[in-house]
Amino acid sequence: MFATRWKALGLLASVAAILMLAAACSSSSNNKTTTPGNGASATSPAGASATGSTSAPQQGGSITVQALQPQSFDPHFSAFAQDISIDRMVWRGLYRLDKNNKPQPEMAASQPQVSSDSLTYTVKLQSGLKWSDGAPLTAKDFVAGIVRTCAPDTAGQYTSFLFNIVGCEKYSGDTKADAATQQADQAALGVSAPDDTTIVFKLKNPQATFQIQLAMWFTFPVPTQIIKNPATDKWPDDPTKLAFNGPYKIQSYTQKDNLVLVRNDSYHSASSHEAYLDKITEKYIDDTEQADNAFRAGQVDVAIANLANLKAITSDSSTKDAYFHPSQYSSTLGMQFQMKKAPLDKFQVRLALSQAIDRKTLVGLVGGGTYQPATSWIPGALLGIQDDPFESQIGYNPTEAKKNLSDAGYPDGKGFPTLSLEIRNTPANQAVAAFVQNAYKTVLNINITIKAVDSKTRSADYTSRNFELFAPAGWNQDYPDPEDWVAGQFNTGGSQNFTDCSDPQIDSLMAKAAVNLNNDERIAQYKQINELISTKLCGIAPWWSQTVYDWLVNPKIHGMRDNSTSQDSILPSDWNVENWSVSK
Map the footprint of another protein across residues 470-499, applying CB under 8 A. Answer: 476, 488, 495-496, 498
Tell whether residue 79 is a contact of another protein (CB under 8 A).
Answer: yes
Map the footprint of another protein across residues 354-373, applying CB under 8 A. Answer: 361, 364-365
CA-based end-to-end distance of the chain: 61
Tell whether residue 317 is a contact of another protein (CB under 8 A).
Answer: no
Site residue total, another protein (CB under 8 A): 95
Residues 6+ apart with CB under 8 A from 91: 75, 217, 220, 221, 244, 245, 246
Q: Which amino acid is at 416?
A: F
From candidates 53, 122, 317, 425, binder to another protein by CB under 8 A = 425
CA–CA gap between residue 546 and residue 333 (Å, rounded)? 8
CA–CA gap between residue 519 and residue 521 (Å, rounded)? 5
Contact at 8 Å (CB) between 211 and 105? no
From candidates 237, 265, 521, 562, binder to another protein by CB under 8 A = 237
CA–CA gap between residue 205 and residue 471 (Å, rounded)? 35
C-alpha dihedral sign at 487, 216, 117, 167: negative
Stretch that binds another protein, among 266-274, 432-440, 501-509, 532-540 (CB under 8 A): 432-440
From candidates 188, 460, 511, 517, binder to another protein by CB under 8 A = 460
Map the footprint of another protein across residues 38-77, applying CB under 8 A. Answer: 71-72, 74, 77
Q: Which amino acid is at 12?
A: L
**Least distance from C-beta 294 to another protein, angstroms?**
5
Alpha helix positions (H), 57-158: 81-90, 139-150
CA–CA gap between residue 36 and residue 409 (Å, rounded)? 64
Tell whether residue 308 is a contact of another protein (CB under 8 A).
Answer: yes
Map the footprint of another protein across residues 10-29, applying CB under 8 A. Answer: 11-12, 15-16, 18-20, 22-27, 29
312 or 537: whose CB is closer to another protein? 312
CA–CA gap between residue 537 and residue 540 (Å, rounded)? 5
Contact at 8 Å (CB) between 186 and 202? no
Map the footprint of another protein across residues 141-170, applying CB under 8 A. Answer: 152-153, 155, 157, 159-160
Q: How far is CA 242 from CA 49, 277, 283, in A?
A: 37, 21, 21
From candidates 265, 345, 412, 454, binder to another protein by CB under 8 A = 454
In terms of C-beta density within 10 A (0-12 exposed, 13-18 middle, 19 or more buried), how is residue 198 classed? middle
Rg (CA), the chain: 26
Binding-site string for another protein from residue 251 to residue 290, where x marks contact by CB under 8 A and - marks none:
---xxxx-------------------------xxxxx-xx
From candidates 39, 173, 194, 409, binder to another protein by CB under 8 A = 173
Stretch that binds another protein, among 87-95, 212-220, 244-252, 427-435 (CB under 8 A): 427-435
Map the footprint of another protein across residues 378-417, applying CB under 8 A. Answer: none
11 or 188: whose CB is closer to another protein? 11
Q: Which amino acid is at 273?
A: H
Stretch that binds another protein, among 40-48, 110-118, 295-303, 511-519 (CB under 8 A): 295-303
Tell whether residue 347 is a contact of another protein (CB under 8 A).
Answer: no
From candidates 391, 435, 502, 524, binder to another protein by CB under 8 A = 435
